[in-house]
Amino acid sequence: MTTDKASDPHTRLRHARIAVSLAFFVNGFGLGSWTPEVPVIGDRLGLTPATYGFMVLIFGLGAVSAMPLVGAAIARYGSRPVTIAMQALLALAIVSLTAAPHPILTIVALFLFGVGLGGMDVAINANAVSVERALSRAIMSSCHGFWSLGAFAGAGVGGTLIVSFGPTGHTAIVALVCTACLAYVVPHLWADRRAEAPVTGSAGTKPSVRALIVKQRGPLLFSVVIGIMALAGFVQEGVVIDWSAVYLREELGVTLAASGFGFAAFSIAMALFRFVGDGIRERLGAVKTVRLSLLVALAGLSVLIIADTLTTALAGFLILGVGLSNVVPIAFSAAGNVKGLADGTGISIASAIAYSGGLVAPALVGLFADAFGFSTIFMALALLCLGIILSAHLLRGADRANAAEV
């Protein structure tokens, strides 16, 4: 009797881990490719650096509006079909950013791009949690590492592709990559279980939403706090994603082809240290890892504050990427381990808060950067780092032996 290797659990899990990692790569590639397009699309819409935040706001609103619907869809159908649908939407939306023949349609494309990218981001994190449970070991940091590799690739070649093929040619190539990767993602992405049957009361009746909220108030609030901490990390990543190209072009005078190098440097540093993040956390523990990491991030922000050349700025982005690399994955692991909540509830709450604020907050950066300069922005980010350092003990639940119970 022969064994069907395709149905072997270990083989399926190995393919599932590759598939979810590839989905993370695609999501990062899409977002990294957006970075050098920001000033190009802004010029097309007649915006100034001070009003580039309008584009970021539309993009963020698309992502925020999608998250409740994506969360409900994941609960009903599982993360696999949602991830696939969002990846397909991402491919369609990104090419529409530059192919739209009218500014109004470009704004619609920006909104849909936010829907696809933000919705996919939540879905792939939910799928990674399911794969972690099936494997009984952490993979979240390495999954985020693949996201950073994708972001590095997208930002690193984006400016060159725009110069070589034009903005529409660039986004068409990105859309082709996103679509081609579905050939592996669709058959191999892990089919996680759907939401459990509704909880019933002692008499077999379904408890009210209010009763459930009251019963789970403590764990829910704890998940919110972790989400705010993840948000502090996401805000910093969002500033680099949306404004590094503008910062390099407007304040340091670099060329369009080099405008994506800041985010590329940041992303490759994050990727490298995310691939070793799980090992570092197991050796040092989540709390110590976060605190030491953020001290490194503070050093990177200090370099960016005084940078006056492209080389110095790239060094600052590299150091900042190292420091921020494992903060958000550890926060998500901590949220996923909060006891007293149904599976996936904690990470869903934390993700929604982190992604929502992380996408919308950078929209305000243009106004403050125009008035006070990017050095002031980097100083404000340093204060966020200090805040996470002081509250890092709340992330102890990321270490599975210390799963947080409220």
d(CA 33, CA 355): 19
Q: For 207, which DSSP code?
A: P
For residue 339, the SS3 value is strand
CB of 59 within 8 A of CB of 111? yes
Residue 39 has pLDDT above 60, yes or no: yes
334 — pLDDT class (breaks 50, 70, 90): confident
- Six token digits for residue 156: 């690193």
Residue 157 has pLDDT above 60, yes or no: yes
For the stretch 92-124, pLDDT in tens is: 999 988 887 777 888 898 899 999 998 898 889
CA angle at 331 for the pair 325 and 333, rounded to the nearest 5°: 105
- pLDDT, position 319: 95
47 — pLDDT class (breaks 50, 70, 90): confident
The strand pairing partners of 339, in sequence order, are: 405
Q: Of 16, 38, 30, nearest to 116 (Cα)?
A: 30
What count of other Cβ atoms lies within 10 Å of the Cβ of residue 384?
19
321 — pLDDT class (breaks 50, 70, 90): very high
- pLDDT, position 194: 53
Range of lowest pLDDT (23-32, 45-54, 225-234, 293-302): 45-54
- Domains of the chain in sequence order: 8-192+212-402 (1.20.1250.20)
Long-range Cβ pairs for the range 44-51 (8 Å, 24+): 44/103, 44/106, 44/167, 45/103, 45/106, 45/107, 46/103, 49/246, 49/250, 49/366, 49/369, 49/370, 50/366, 50/367, 50/369, 50/370, 51/366
Range of lowest pLDDT (18-27, 94-103, 200-209, 287-296): 200-209
- pLDDT, position 22: 97
Mean pLDDT is highest, among 228-237, 289-298, 355-364, for 289-298
Q: For 206, which DSSP code?
A: P
For the stretch 191-226, pLDDT in tens is: 876 544 444 444 455 555 455 455 567 777 888 889
The alpha carbon torsion through 251, 255, 258, 259 (nearest 10 deg) reads 50
Q: Of 311, 28, 5, 7, nearest to 149 (Cα)?
A: 28
CB of 265 within 8 A of CB of 317? yes
Q: Look at 333 and 189; give whichever has higher pLDDT.
A: 189
Q: Of 226, 246, 210, nearest to 47 (Cα)?
A: 246
Share of the chain above pLDDT 70, in %: 86
Contacts of residue 288, Cβ cutoff 8 Å, sequence gap at least 6: none
Q: Of 276, 265, 267, nearest to 149 (Cα)?
A: 267
Q: Look at 394 and 348; give whichever has higher pLDDT.
A: 394
Q: What value does the mean pLDDT take over residues 290-315?
A: 93
CA angle at 358 for the pair 390 and 177, rounded to the nearest 5°: 130
d(CA 366, CA 53): 5
- pLDDT, position 2: 44
- pLDDT, position 199: 44
- pLDDT, position 54: 75
Mean pLDDT is highest, among 13-17, 246-250, 330-334, for 13-17
Give, in order, the Cα–Cα distances in Å from 360 to each of 149, 232, 352: 24, 12, 12
Average per-residue pLDDT for the chain: 82
Q: Of 158, 165, 171, nearest to 257 (Cα)?
A: 158
- pLDDT, position 202: 47
Phi, psi of 255, deg, nearest 5: -75, 165
Per residue, what are the HEC states of 140-165?
HHHHHHHHHHHHHHHHHHHHHHHHHH
CB of 294 within 8 A of CB of 242? no
Q: What value does the mean pLDDT take over residues 166-182?
A: 93
What count of other Cβ atoms lies within 10 Å of the Cβ of residue 363?
20
Q: What value does the mean pLDDT take over residues 158-169?
A: 88
Taking only Cα atoms into account, the Rg of the chain, rounded to an integer number of angstroms, comes to 21
